[in-house]
Amino acid sequence: MMVPVRCFTCGTVVGEHWEEFDERANEGDEDPQEVLDELGVDRYCCRRMLVSHTDLVDVVSPYQ
């Protein structure tokens, strides 16, 4: 649904980087690795939170 606020494993706040990551790496055509490095998301536990996330709010919103 919405991006998790924190990394499941280490507890770093990752939610704040989602919108920029989505815009640059998913919508845009930048390399996800470089975007994550620039955002300062270093550990692989935090990186997978953003890389593997799919926003589903738009999918479920018609079924209120």
Partner 1 sequence: MSAEYDVEFVEREDRDARFLVQGITPAFANGIRRAMLADVPTMAIDTVRFVENSSVMFDEQLALRLGLVPLTTPPVGEFVEDDTVTLSIDVEGPATAYSGDLVSSDDLVQPADENVPIIDLKDGQRLEAEADAVLDRGKDHAKHQGGVAVGYRHLQRVAAVEDLPEFEEPDRRIVRGVIEEDGELVPTSEFDHDLSNRYPGQEVTLEDVPNSFVFHVETDGSFSVEELVTRAADTIESRATELENAVQL
* Contact footprint for partner 1 (CB under 8 A): 1-3, 5-7, 10-13, 15-16, 18-19, 43, 55, 57-58, 60-61, 64
> What is the distance between the alpha carbons of residues 55 and 40, in angstroms, rounded to a whole number?
22
Contacts of 52 (CB under 8 A, 6+ apart): none
Q: Please report how close the Cβ of residue 25 comes to partner 1 at its closest, in angstroms.
A: 16
Nearer to partner 1, 29 or 50 (CB): 50
d(CA 47, CA 57): 21
Show binding-site residues for Zn(2+): 7, 10, 45-46
